[in-house]
A and B are shown apart, each in its own frame.
Chain A
Amino acid sequence: MKESKPVIKVTAMLHRNISSRAVSALKAAGVKDIYQTPGRIPFLAYHSGIKAVFKPQSIVSYPAEIITCFVEPSVEKVAMEILSCAGNMEEPGKGSVYTETIQMSSRSTLFHCDKVVSPINQNQHFYHDLTAIQCVVQRGQGDKIAQAVLEMGSAVPVITYGTGTGFRDQIGILRITIPADKEIVNLVVPSWEADYVMEAMISAGQLELPGRGFISTRNVSMGRLDTKMTNETNVHAASLEQIIHAIDHLNDSMEWRRNTRKSSASSNRLFFTGMELKVFCNEGTGLGLAEEAMKIGVGGATIEQQNLRGEAEVSKDYLSRAREVCRMFTTEEVANKFLQKLKDIGAFSDRVQAVAYFSEVPKAFTYIPKEDVKKVA
């Protein structure tokens, strides 16, 4: 990408009770732009008593938030430590935190990429070789996919809401017959496990069928993952997730878990690669940007609402506290064209205050019509 520079994106997926602590810890460390997206963390709940007869297990959700901020590469680990400490993530069941290196291409002048100062000097350990998986499905389908992930015991997903654009915006007012509401399942797993998890998610959501959803991966540079997936109370000195956590810690990696997996990913699915382009913008402008993108050949976009917290210079006419993020999957070529267009229409200043960045998508999957299969291959 031209004119782009690497920036670290720090993401924490936390229970809502803890998130305000994380936000204030970031604020105290000098982070100005903190993005917050409400979501939910699903758990496997095992019932007891009469309930268990009818339904031994079900999905129960708890309020969660995804906190995102951008920092200079030099302070990557410090930012992680601040979040991890504030959220007390050493213990299972509190949430996950991870960082990605992204290519920040263009951005509004009001955007901050911060150098944080850390009051804490703790030598915490984080794991490497992780992969983030993001799956967009119709609203109501998220729990099904989350359950598949939880039953594998690989990661604790966080589900957020969004709206989709694409085919429905090309058919005029008839679009109201196609629901735009989406659910987005976000999770981070060890890279060696990503294929299995992805396969499980694809089959749980039947993503090979048209109109079901889209799944993609991103590389994560480091992170700490949550391991608590059920509400089971333990009768031992330590819970199972604490033990897993402890062994992870002793081995400095999660690699030891690998041999418990049978290779179930007998996939002959047609995966493809590309670029993920994310544009942060003021509330209400995302749809317009997505339409611009679709004019130059982007298939569609998912729009999520975000709240801008922290000390950023919010002003009436420019930077709004209510923000949204447009996520599009495309090729490098189209992405560059779109960036140029964003500049032309003044999206980086004015009332849009866009912030655009790329990350590579090593693997993605969705339904591809037969006539297009050759093109992709």
Chain B
Amino acid sequence: MNIQKKEISLKEKFGLLFPWARKKIMEQVSSVATIVVYLLFFQLVVLGSPLENSAYVAVGLALVVAGLAFFMEGLVLGMMPLGEVLGLKLPAHRGLFSILVFSFLLGVGATFAEPSIAVLKAAGATVKAWEAPLLFLLLNQKADLLVYSVGIGVGLAVVCGMMRIMYNWSLKPFIYVLVGIACILTVVSYYNDNLQHLLGLAWDCGAVTTGPVTVPLVLALGIGISRISGSGDSENAGFGVVTLASLFPILTVIILGWFYVGDVPAPMTEAQYNSEEMASATAILRSDLPTGSGETEFNVLATVKNSFSAAAVAVVPLCLFLLLTLLWIRQKLPRRDEIFLGIGFAVLGMGLFSIGIEWGLSGVGNQLGNTLPAAYKKIEFANQKIEIDNFDKNLVQTAVDDSGETHQFYYRYEKDMVSVIPWNEENYNAEEKRYNFTPTKGPLYGNEGDLSGIIVVLLFAFFMGYGATLAEPALNALGSTVETITVGTFKKSLLMQAVAIGVGCGIFLGVAKIVWNIPLASMLVPLYLILLVLTYFSTEEFVNIGWDSAGVTTGPVTVPLVIAMGLGIGQQSAVVEGFGILSMASVCPIMSVLSVGIFVNRSRNVLLENSEDENDGQTPSSLVAEEKAS
């Protein structure tokens, strides 16, 4: 590159740099703003409880914005061009077998690199060994196997996806077959007490596997390959791999469950689990239990270190793998400085971003998750327990309700306010004259278990899903790619809105599942069946985009919030496991995008309908010509 370099002054350099940085940051501020404003509004106004650690939360949110700005720029500058170059060069220089091996390794590697499995483990933290032995086994003792099986699933998915792109196969048959098998396996497994609890995990695995690093890379790679193989129309350029990567792991995880279902005892009570006679049967569940880290300390340095090392692990090995492959086929990298800078940006961005998530979004999310059930039921704040020494029992008063029953209470004086606290004899230690009091809250809306309170929670769930989705980096990357591929006919904003509304609905349904303890299978299977019908009636273009967007919805912004909320509600509602919300959050966006697609296509066809498709491609004018000729 020996172009004459223009010398530009330092002032001019800053003149270029500042507007650019401001633009990138403002883009992210606007994408994060919805969810942040919404969460704060809900916490402060609707639930009326103050925000703890607000300084950390503020810093965290700033870091999220900065991190997202760097990460997105890193994707655009570094990782996506790298993927596309490889996609263009690999098929031209190596045979089919090499491409497939490469694809498989890429899929497996991507699963190991992205720490999404850790998220699922966190979601399963409340699973009790006696309630769901198989699920407990796979999340704890056999967690490695779980990761491997998901990895193999993703690997197979990338292989199929690449072959599909190279030979220009339609995505629809893949969807019919995979979803069909998954639904059958789900229904069959539902009748096994052990496997039943695994289903939520299996479907969620499919949803979380494709993260913000993998998706853009795989998309770019697919676009490259589809351009070079060139057999196809531009309609399904490069998409579809993400879809397959969210379907295959469902199958592999359920199959893994089948392998181990014989080794574990049936679900039992806690007493049985701890009894002597079950010791041999439950041994497999007890062996080398991982020591839970317990309450993680709020350590700034450790968080920073962990975040950046996790970011480096997620980005660097994958990029290195692609670079080495490029070296192997002896191809040069165009604009090398830009790509390396981009990879650097991606690592930096992801590091900052995950610190920000931990301090900012997760902080708010956890607080909200804990307080949220207060909307419809009374919850206790165990961590705010108060001990009143020298409690004078004479202060306890008696009240009578409408049926004549008496209740005891006392007045509590706090901050110039007097509140009525129900008296509970059990909490009183007569010898030490000490009364233990746990502050409670709620139900804020209506009475205990009223529909009005639950509706508040469900509405919250909807808007949280909506807002969080708009901030998802992988979806942003997909949106830009879709807009570029369709040369602006499918706008990024339309896709994002459709997906965000879909995710909102999904989380709404997912929370409903937990609140009312509805079995997952009875919700997922009908939804997927409707989806198959929609898919049948959609064009290839929208099937590709719609199904792919489902895979990217659940990323680093949504997942911690959903998990926090799911756990909060799950703990209060005494369900066995809080899985399943994420899989609902992936099925609904497909529906919304496909519906938008069917609508858009109808309006497009209005323009062309005059003569199109009526006479099997023969146009009226040519028909007239034929008539004349005869």
A interface, CB within 8 angstroms of B: 15-18, 20-21, 38-40, 43, 60-65, 85, 88, 90-91, 93-94, 122, 142-143, 159-161, 167, 169-178, 183, 228, 231, 233, 283-284, 287-288, 291, 294-295, 305, 307-309, 314, 316-317, 320-322
Contacts and interface: CB of A to CB of B under 8 A. Distances in A.
Given A295-B2, A295-B3, A176 B611 contact: no
A65 B235 CA distance: 12
Nearest to B332: A284
Given A60-B603, A167-B6, 9 more contacts: A16-B234, A17-B612, A63-B487, A161-B484, A176-B77, A177-B20, A309-B230, A316-B92, A322-B224
22 contacts: A16-B234, A16-B235, A18-B608, A38-B485, A40-B489, A60-B603, A62-B489, A88-B621, A93-B610, A94-B608, A161-B484, A170-B6, A173-B338, A177-B20, A178-B20, A233-B606, A284-B88, A287-B334, A320-B92, A322-B88, A322-B227, A322-B228
Say which size band chain B's interface belongs to.
35 or more
A28 to B, nearest CB: 14
* Shortest 9 CB-CB contacts between residues of A and residues of B: A321-B230, A177-B20, A322-B227, A88-B619, A170-B6, A177-B16, A40-B489, A40-B487, A61-B489
Contacts of B412: none
Contacts of A18: 608
Contacts of B89: 284
A278 to B, nearest CB: 20
A43 B603 CA distance: 12
A63 B338 contact: no
B142 interface: no
A231 B16 contact: no
B384 interface: no
Contacts of B603: 60, 231
A365 B219 CA distance: 38
A174 B3 contact: no
A88 B2 CA distance: 50
A20 B621 CA distance: 19
Interface of B: 1-6, 8, 13, 16-17, 19-20, 73, 77, 85, 88-89, 92-93, 224, 227-230, 233-235, 334-335, 337-338, 341, 484-489, 603-604, 606-608, 610-612, 617, 619, 621-622, 625
Nearest to A161: B487
Contacts of A283: 88, 227-228
For the residues of B in contact with A, the DSSP-based class is helix
Nearest to B233: A20
Contacts of A62: 489, 604, 607
Contacts of B229: 321
Contacts of B608: 15, 17-18, 93-94
A197 B318 CA distance: 50
A39 B487 contact: yes
A85 B625 CA distance: 11
B326 to A, nearest CB: 12
A173 B607 contact: no
A306 to B, nearest CB: 10
A94 B611 CA distance: 10
**Residue picked from A62, A142, A314, most chain B C-beta under 10 Å:** A62
**Residue picked from A169, A177, A317, most chain B C-beta under 10 Å:** A177
A322 B230 contact: yes
B487 A38 contact: yes
Contacts of A295: 2-4
A63 B610 contact: no
A322 B233 CA distance: 13
A173 B625 CA distance: 61
A154 B22 CA distance: 39
Contacts of B6: 167, 170-171
**Residue picked from B88, B488, B625, most chain A C-beta under 10 Å:** B488
B607 A231 contact: yes
